[in-house]
């Protein structure tokens, strides 16, 4: 019996497993993930701010995968494409006939000095929890230290993750102020962005609405302000310094380091894949999600990395593994975005929806929409019994 190995139980990996298992083809399906749980990475900012608990955004992989799927909880060290084996931290090597690699993203520092040591990234459950502990510990500490930098927060970057974090933060701040007895007028939240753009994927009118919403709640934006160095408690730009004892580093992502460690032809740990999502010269191997770079035929530039694309790619990769198993030709990946929803806390946001016409939405309706998207995501990734258990 052929072995199909799926790496990563994020959006791409979970979806691929579900698609392959439901096809009921006689194969051995093995899912490898470093944790026994799946986390909804699109909600990490809520754990980082403290509006959600880890259990609200995680589910047990073993309970969620269809019956018959083998689950290995271990860390992938590298992939050996020639011998078709995956090297695992504890379990040794795992051979495959077909591979779907969906190992996801890591924080990108762009080589900026001190960013890794002094910035708090939001890339998984551990980093989100670390950011939350740091934020709350620092705010609480102010009562003793009276150091105003304990009340200052700098968010680095003004892309999707940064803006969602800021929206959640300004929503929670009044309750943190009251819990720790803080002087509200001394809280300072800066957002520092190298480019001239905030939320580059949205139309200007929606961006302006989001910026005004956040500014009214105390966020100060500094665009065209490239960060040159991060020191403990200081974010430095060419001629400016922002002092804060909480520095959130959400400037962008790169793919998993396993890609570079395995010797792929990569850029920022992302590989330009073939039309069917396979790796050049390796028709048995498919890359899905944030480690893949798929050129958008409209622009020629790779699609942005999103959970939505990961799921769509997983559908194609799973279909192509099944096609190869059946001796058929694989199909080309085609993507049509259904839109983008950016939350600003639980009750507001901006969205551009491309379904039954083009829709631009803002305000409280987007809060409702985001909840529907999040609930649906769990449904689409896991088997129904998980949904029933979590309700």
Which residues participate in catalysis according to the annotation?
A: 164
Instruction: Compute and round to an integer the Cα radius of gyration of the chain.
Output: 22
Please say which residue, 32 or 230, places its beta carbon nearer to ligand FAD.
32
Binding status of residue 377 toward ligand FAD by CB under 6 A: no
Q: Please name the helix (run of DSSP H) or strand (run of DSSP E) that holds residue 186, with its range, or none.
A: none
Stretch that binds ligand FAD, among 9-17, 51-59, 135-143, 203-211 (CB under 6 A): 9-17
Binder among 4, 5, 6, 12 for ligand FAD (CB under 6 A): 12
Binder among 4, 6, 11, 278 for ligand FAD (CB under 6 A): 11
Binder among 262, 305, 320, 386 for ligand FAD (CB under 6 A): 305
Binder among 21, 33, 219, 333 for ligand FAD (CB under 6 A): 33
349, 23 in Cβ contact below 8 A?
no
DSSP one-letter code for 280: T
- Residue position matching structure tokens 């900026």: 112
Q: Is 293 helix (H, G, I), strand (E, B) or coil?
A: strand
The Cα 361–Cα 341 span in angstroms is 9
Binding status of residue 34 toward ligand FAD by CB under 6 A: yes
Stretch that binds ligand FAD, among 28-36, 317-325, 355-363, 378-386 (CB under 6 A): 28-36
Q: Which of residues 238-277 bind ligand FAD (CB under 6 A)?
A: 256, 258
Please say which residue, 233 or 289, places its beta carbon nearer to ligand FAD.
289
Tokens of 294: 């798929």
How many residues line the site for ligand FAD (CB under 6 A)? Answer: 35
The DSSP bridge partners found for residue 38 are: 59
What does 35-67 look like in DSSP terms, one character per residue?
A: SSEEE-GGGHHHHHHTSS-GGGSEEEHHHHSPT
Q: Which of residues 92-121 bind ligand FAD (CB under 6 A)?
A: 102-105
DSSP-derived pairing of the beta strands 282-287 and 98-101: parallel
Binder among 233, 252, 307, 330 for ligand FAD (CB under 6 A): 307
Q: Please name the helix (run of DSSP H) or strand (run of DSSP E) that holds residue 241, with its range, or none.
A: strand 241-243
Please say which residue, 49 or 182, places its beta carbon nearer to ligand FAD.
49
CB of 289 to ligand FAD, least distance (A): 2
Closest Cα to residue 88, out of 31, 132, 164, 172? 31
The Cα 12–Cα 104 span in angstroms is 8
Q: Is 234 helix (H, G, I), strand (E, B) or coil?
A: strand
Letters for 270-289 (x = contact with ligand FAD by CB under 6 A, - = none) are -------------------x
- Residue position matching structure tokens 């102010």: 142
CB of 236 to ligand FAD, least distance (A): 25
Write out the residues near ligand FAD by the rule CB under 6 A.
8-13, 32-35, 41-42, 44-45, 75-76, 102-105, 122, 124, 160-161, 164, 256, 258, 289-290, 305-308, 310, 341
């Amino acid at each position: 019996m052929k072995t199909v190995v799926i790496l990563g139980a994020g959006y791409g990996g979970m979806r691929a497993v579900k698609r392959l298992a439901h096809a009921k083809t006689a194969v051995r399906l093995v899912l490898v993930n470093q944790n026994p749980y799946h986390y909804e990475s699109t909600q990490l900012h809520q754990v980082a701010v403290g509006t959600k608990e880890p259990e609200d955004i995680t589910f047990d992989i073993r309970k969620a995968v269809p019956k018959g799927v083998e689950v290995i909880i271990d860390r992938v060290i590298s992939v050996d494409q020639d011998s078709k084996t995956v090297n695992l931290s504890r379990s040794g090597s795992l051979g495959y006939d077909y591979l779907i690699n969906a190992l996801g993203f890591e924080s990108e520092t762009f080589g900026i000095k001190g960013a890794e040591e002094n910035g708090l990234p939001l890339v998984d459950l551990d980093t989100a929890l670390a950011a939350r502990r740091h934020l709350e510990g620092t705010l609480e500490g102010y009562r003793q230290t009276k150091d105003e930098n304990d009340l200052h927060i700098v968010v680095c970057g003004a892309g999707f993750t940064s803006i969602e974090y800021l929206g959640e933060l300004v929503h929670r701040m009044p309750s943190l102020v009251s819990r720790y007895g803080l002087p509200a007028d001394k809280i300072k939240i800066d957002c520092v962005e190298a480019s001239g753009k905030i939320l580059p994927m949205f139309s200007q009118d929606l961006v302006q609405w989001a910026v005004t919403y956040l500014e009214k709640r105390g966020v100060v934006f500094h665009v065209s302000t490239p960060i040159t160095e991060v020191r403990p408690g200081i974010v430095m730009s060419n001629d400016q310094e922002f002092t804060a004892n909480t520095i959130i580093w959400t400037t962008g992502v790169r793919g998993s380091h396993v890609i570079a460690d395995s010797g792929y032809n990569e850029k920022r740990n992302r590989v330009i894949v073939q039309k069917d999502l396979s790796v050049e010269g390796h028709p048995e191997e498919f890359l899905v999600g944030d480690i893949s770079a798929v050129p958008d035929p409209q622009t020629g530039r790779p699609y942005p990395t999103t959970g939505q694309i990961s799921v769509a790619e997983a559908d194609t990769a799973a279909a192509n593994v099944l096609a190869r198993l059946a001796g058929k030709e694989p199909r080309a990946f085609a993507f049509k975005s259904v839109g983008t929803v950016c939350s600003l806390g639980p009750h507001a946001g901006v969205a551009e929806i491309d379904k039954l016409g083009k829709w631009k939405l803002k305000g409280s309706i987007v809060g409702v929409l985001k909840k529907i998207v999040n609930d649906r995501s769990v449904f689409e990734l896991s088997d129904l019994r998980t949904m029933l258990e979590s309700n």
